[in-house]
């Protein structure tokens, strides 16, 4: 397990929140937590649902593509690869 203090110390050069905010990036956990609620909990925690890790990951990946608006492009890529 990575020690968070060690991780931050070794990655200080990659943590520039002023620049990230200026570029319009989200820097808080709110959007991530909201995404988790939308993508994972809404789909995987319905009544009677049973999942193992690999199948849940597949489902969450597809749901994330739908929620992010890239579902159509993903389907086209899949069809073109077939």
19-39 per-position pLDDT tens digit: 988 999 888 888 778 877 777
**47 in helix, strand or coil?**
coil
What does the buried/exposed string (b/e) look like for 50-80 if buried means 16 or more CB atoms within 10 Å of the residue's CB? eeeeeeeeebbeebbbeeeeeeeeeeeeeee
Domain count, the chain: 1
Residue owning tokens 């789909």: 43
Instruction: Determine the structural domain holding residue 52 and report its residue range.
Output: 4-81
The pTM (predicted TM-score) of the whole model is 0.45
pLDDT, averaged in runs of 10, over the chain (82 residues): 86 88 86 76 78 83 84 86 80
């Amino acid at each position: 397990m990575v020690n968070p203090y060690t991780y931050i110390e070794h990655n200080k050069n990659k943590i520039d929140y002023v620049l990230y905010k200026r570029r319009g990036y989200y820097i808080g956990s709110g959007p991530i937590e909201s995404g988790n609620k939308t993508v994972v909990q809404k789909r995987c925690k319905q009544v009677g649902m049973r999942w193992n890790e690999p199948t849940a990951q597949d489902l969450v990946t597809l749901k994330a593509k739908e929620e992010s608006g890239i579902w159509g492009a993903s389907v086209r890529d899949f069809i073109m690869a077939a």
